[in-house]
Each structure stands twice: as C-alpha cells, then as structure tokens.
Structure 1
Amino acid sequence: MRKTGIAVGLLMLAMGAAHAQKITGAGASFPLPIYSKWFSEYSAGHPGVEVNYQSIGSGGGIVQVTQGKVDFGASDMPMTDAQLSASSIKLLHIPTVMGAVVPVFNVPGVTSLKFSGDLLADIYLNKITNWNDPRIAKDNPGVSLPDKKIIVVHRSDGSGTSFIFTDYLSKVSHDWNDGPGKGSSPNWPTGVGGKGNEGVAGLVRQMEGSIGYVELLYALQNKITFGEVKNADGNWVRASIEGVTAAAATAKIPADYRVSITNAPGANSYPISSFTYLLIPVKTQDAAKKKVLVDLLSWIVKSGEGEASGLSYAPLPQNVADQVLKTVYSLQ
C-alpha cells in the first residue's frame, strides 16, 4: 500500500512537471513595479506557471527577444521599422499601461520647481550649469535657489525611459533635436549615468545638486522631489494618472500601436507621457507556452488593468484595451 501511495505521488509530480510552464521576459524598468505585481499574481493564480521578468532596459529587452533568448520583451519605445525588419522573429507590440517620466531633483532647501521643456533641454545640453541661473529663477519666482552646480544624471543603459524623455526634448527644443536627438542611448553632452530607473533614482537621492528623470512611481517610492512641467498648452502640470490619460485622449492609435504621446495637446495633458509595450513573437513553436502567453496577456487586459492606478500608472483607455484584446486573441 505504501509503495502504491509513493508511486501515485511520483506520478502526480511527473504530471505536474509536464504541465509546468516557465515564461521568461526581459526589458524595460519603467513598468517593472506593475509587471512584478502582475506576474506574481498570475503565477499564484495559475499553479505550475512561472513568469520570470528581468529589468535590463528597453534596449536589452529588444535584443533579447529578437535573438529568441526570452519568450517576450518589454520596451517603452516602439521598435523602429528597421529594427522590426532586421528581426528574424516577427513581433507584435502589445501596449500594457501608460506612465509618466518626471524630472527629479535634489536641491538643498528647495521642495518645488517648475521646468519648461527648453529649460530641461538646456540643462541636459550643459548650457545651464548652476541652480541659481536666471532662467531657472524666471520660471520659479519666489524660490530661493542656491549657488550650486547642477549635476546631471541620465541612464547608462539602453533605455525606453531615455527615449521618452529625449523624444519630448526633441519636440520642444530645436537645439536638442539637432544635437543629441531622441533615442534610447543618445550621446549625452554631460552628466553621470545610472543603470535602470532604480540607478538614476539612487544617484539623485545621494547627490546634492542633482537632477535626473525617472518613471513616476520610482520618484514616489524613493520619496524624491519632482517638478512640474509646462505642457503644449502652456500650463504647468504635475505628473498624475489623470494627466497621462489626458495626453492619450487625443492620440490616433495605429493598428500596430506604435505611437508617441509626448507633448500632447490639452489643458491638462502631462507632456512626458508614454505607452509601454510587451513585445510578443507572432509564432511560437512551443504550443503550450503560446497558450500560456495568450492567457497571460488576456488576463492583463481584463484583470490587471484595474490595478494600474494603484501603482501610479494609467490603465489603457477602454477603446485601446478592446482593440488589444482582439490582437491578443489573434495570436491563438
């Protein structure tokens, strides 16, 4: 009897192992907080399924998924036509949530600042190098600005957050557009680099006089002060879920979802907003793994979106969510 029980137990373990699925992904740090929550919850609700996600930056995620090293990639920047054509693996962009990139700063005695787009560009172009510069003072009347050198912090890795930030700078500053331009790894004129949103947040916290850019939740979690930004309508806007939602409201969403919503029109639009994407192979040889991926993606759209605002991300607009669900089901 005991031997029979052991045999049955071993058989059940073998059956469980046969049905176990490990899904791997890598890429953007921008959505890491919400992805960590989603993937943990999904795995908990689906015994035998493990979703492992590594935050290595959008550039790394694109490389990993195009080389077939992971089951899905993640990026805050849409892949270019050239990147898609060069990939031997056909990929779909699946938008998951929207978020905000905020200018964070560590200036002694200063708890509130406003930044216009051209001001941010000129700080990162090394044209404005001191916190008491007249141009900063002009946008911030009544603020006591110290005579202190500005330490610029940027990403050291290929970053979708950098792409969003520089995409915005390219739209509001001719000098930036004609110089470093937009990209995941631009040729930064000045500054020190930190790896991931985590690295930039950590450097800004440590260094007095510093300025950087991170996804909103990283600023909130690390209790780093962040500034208001002037939007396309000339209004000063503090990053919020409502501001990101407003930025997406006027966007025309193409069939492949590759769209920029930085510097969007609208009185309440937050100007450094973006979708973030999962990069999903159209064809997967492992049928069981493909089934899990489709189920995971549909779960995100139908259940996960409701948790986005709790982590300071904006959920997909309903019309976009409905379209994304059709795209996900087309993978079956």
Structure 2
Amino acid sequence: MKSLLQVVATGAAVALFVLPAAASEVRLTGSGASFPAPIYTTWFKQFTRANKGIQVNYQAKGSGAGIRDFMNHTVDFAASDAAMKDEEIAKVAEGVQLLPMTAGEIVLAYNLDGVKGLNLPRSVYPGIFLGKIKKWNDPAIVAANPGVTLPDEEITVVTRADSSGTTFVFTKHLCAISPDFESGPGTGKTVNWPSEAKMVKAPKNDGVTATIKQTPGAIGYIEYGFARMSKLEMASLENKEGHFVAPGLEGGQAALANAVIPENMIVWLPDPAGVDSYPMATYTWMMFYKKYDSPEKAEALRKMVIYCLDEGQKIADKAGYIPLPANVVEKVRAASANIQ
C-alpha cells in the first residue's frame, strides 16, 4: 500500500502528516532436498497461514541443487540430506548455520506381486545394488524368507538420476556394511553405479517412487513417507545386531536415540547400534546464512524455524518422518538465534 497523505486544516494553517506505508510482504525462497519435501511443504503452508505478511516458496530439486543455489545466493535458505562440507561452508562469506529440522528413514521399496514382508540381510542388499545378486529367487534371498515364494525374475534396481542427499545417506550406509561397496561405488550425492546391475534412474524421491510402482521386479531406495503414501511394499532390513527391523517410527526413534548432536549440528548414523534400530535413519538439514542484508527476512526465517520446532514436529510421524528428540529441538532453537 502506498503512503497516505493526511491533511489537517486548522484555520489558516495547514499541517501535513505522512503516514508510514504498511509493512510489505516478506518472501522467503528455498530449494533442495526432495527427501523432506512433503513435510516441508505442509509446514510452510501452515506457517504462511499463521503469519500474515510472510510467504515461503520451496522447490524440491535435490540436495545437490539446493546447496548450489545456496552457495550462489539465489535462495534465502536451502535443504539437504547431505550436510554441507567444510570447504563449501568456507566459501559462504555470510557464514552458514545448519539446523537439523526433521529426521527420516530410507527404505528399500519393491514391486513383487504377492510378496509381502520381505527380509533382506545386510549381506544381500548391498549385493543387489552392486549387481552381484541379479534374481529375486537368489538363494541368499530365499534363505532369509522361508515360506515365501520368490519369482525367477530379474531384479531391476532404481536409483537417483540427480545429485541427491538420499543417495549420499544410502551409499554411506552401504559403505559402512559392505567393504565391496566402499571400494567400489563409494559414498556420494552421485556415484558410479556398477554396470552389472539392471538399472533405471529417476529424478528425486517422487520419481524413484513412481518408477518402482510402474516396474514389476523393481527395488529402489526412497524416503519412508513416499513409500507409505504410495502403498509400496518395504523390506525389513537386518540391523547391526542381526535383527530384521521394518521401517516405522519405533525403529527410527531407536536409531536416533544414541546420536549426540555436536556444535556444528552435523551427525551421521551410517549403521546405528541397538536391537530395535532401523539401520537407515538420518537427520536432514536446513541451511541459513548467519548474516542477511534484510533484518526483516532474518526475523521471518527465525520465526519459520521456531514454528517448525513447536508446531511442525507434532505432525512428523503422521507425515512419515521422525519427530526430533527434545534435546535436539532445544539445540536447534538456541542455534537459530545465529540467523541475523
């Protein structure tokens, strides 16, 4: 709204008062990880409704693209499942504040007609993604699933086509449990997958989800909420203690239970201990500058973080994510004051 000119006439004298303009809308733009996109989208819509004058636009384009946007200063904040590296942070003159905002599980979703409750040992699923186990009725899979009829069908492996934090966390886990994977593809937001595997690539978590659903005999790695929402079957994975654990809140919370958040807010859980722990759980981060040109924008971002902590965590489980432990919430709350 434009400033208004108020004219007050008193006798022969005329006094002019310029009324200040109404506060302009603060627009916040972010990009990055598709892993937490469903819950972030819900949070930002609810936050916008609760805070008139603030608009949040988030584009899920993959963790690697989000980090690039953040380093190029084309967004106000970014999101990634692979926390920024020290050398990347050093290139941001304004400083970087990473905040873990939610946590989730990476699941192995599959498309096998009539097969439910599939168990995959930790000696088996790295072999699938290395292209060493090629058929669903491989003896190693059959042995872990007594009473289950597995088809003589070739396995189609579905991976990410883009630079992905989900890929980073997944490959970090595979490297932790498989020396062959560590000495082969290794860890990264993108890796050179073995040519031995029958492989299809798709962009973002929703692209991998759709490809698995459309491809009989497929298996791929996606965030738990995507699999649950799409009604895909998910394998129970053998954890560090030798127990098969299905994806879900209890296994995810058990995996996070012993993780200590350090000062830089970056912690990894490549192979969590505990008999009840699901083996692939991870925090996912939002990234902010420590110094903004606009105090109004910095204040709006701080408000957004606090809203996600106080209100957003209440819907985490329903959305397919793991609510942050109380001690982590308080650490994030304190660190958000660094956004200035």
Aligned equivalents of 1:146, 1:231: Cα separation in 2 = 25
Shift of 1:7: 9.1
Matches within 5 A, 1:293-332: 293-332=301-340
Secondary structure of the 1:154 match is strand
Aligned equivalents of 1:245, 1:302: Cα separation in 2 = 19
Name the structure 2 match of 1:42: 47
Contact 2:105 2:247 in 1 (8 A): yes
Shift of 1:82: 2.3
Shift of 1:182: 1.1
Aligned equivalents of 1:89, 1:211: Cα separation in 2 = 42
The 3 A distance-change label for structure 1 pair 119 and 227 is same
Shift of 1:310: 1.4
Name the structure 2 match of 1:251: 259
Matches within 5 A, 1:105-254: 105-189=110-194, 190=197, 191-254=199-262
Shift of 1:85: 2.3
Paired residue for 1:73, among 75, 78, 96?
78
Deviations 1:23-58 (A, max 9, x none): 000000111111011000000111121100000001
Contact 2:288 2:339 in 1 (8 A): no
More helix by share: 1
Secondary structure of the 1:161 match is helix
Contact 1:68 1:89 in 2 (8 A): no
Contact 1:231 1:237 in 2 (8 A): yes
Name the structure 2 match of 1:11: none
Deviations 1:81-138 (A, max 9, x none): 2222234442111011110010000012212211122311111111011111111111
TM-score (norm 1): 0.93
Name the structure 1 match of 2:14: none
Contact 2:97 2:339 in 1 (8 A): no
Aligned-partner residue type, residue 185 of structure 2: P
CA RMSD of aligned residues (A): 1.6
Name the structure 2 match of 1:260: 268
Aligned equivalents of 2:328, 2:311: Cα separation in 1 = 15
Aligned equivalents of 2:70, 2:158: Cα separation in 1 = 28
Paired residue for 1:19, among 20, 24, 32?
24
Name the structure 1 match of 2:88: 83
Contact 1:95 1:257 in 2 (8 A): yes
Secondary structure of the 2:90 match is helix
Paired residue for 1:59, among 60, 64, 68?
64
Q: Which runs of 5+ in 1 are unaligned?
A: 1-5, 9-13
Identity of aligned residues (%): 36
Deviations 1:278-324 (A, max 9, x none): 01111111111111001111111122111211112111111111111
Contact 1:118 1:169 in 2 (8 A): no
Contact 2:127 2:133 in 1 (8 A): yes
Aligned equivalents of 1:15, 1:212: Cα separation in 2 = 54
Shift of 1:78: 1.4
The 3 A distance-change label for structure 1 pair 143 and 82 is same
TM-score (norm 2): 0.91
Contact 1:28 1:56 in 2 (8 A): yes
Aligned-partner residue type, residue 255 of structure 2: A
Aligned equivalents of 1:284, 1:132: Cα separation in 2 = 57
> Aligned pairs, how many?
321
Question: Are 2:299 and 1:291 equivalent residues in the alignment?
Answer: yes
Secondary structure of the 1:308 match is helix
* Higher Rg: 2
Question: Are 2:38 and 1:33 equivalent residues in the alignment?
Answer: yes
Q: Which runs of 5+ in 2 are unaligned?
A: 7-19
Deviations 1:237-285 (A, max 9, x none): 0111121111111112111111111310011111100001001111111
Aligned equivalents of 1:144, 1:179: Cα separation in 2 = 32
Aligned equivalents of 1:307, 1:15: Cα separation in 2 = 37
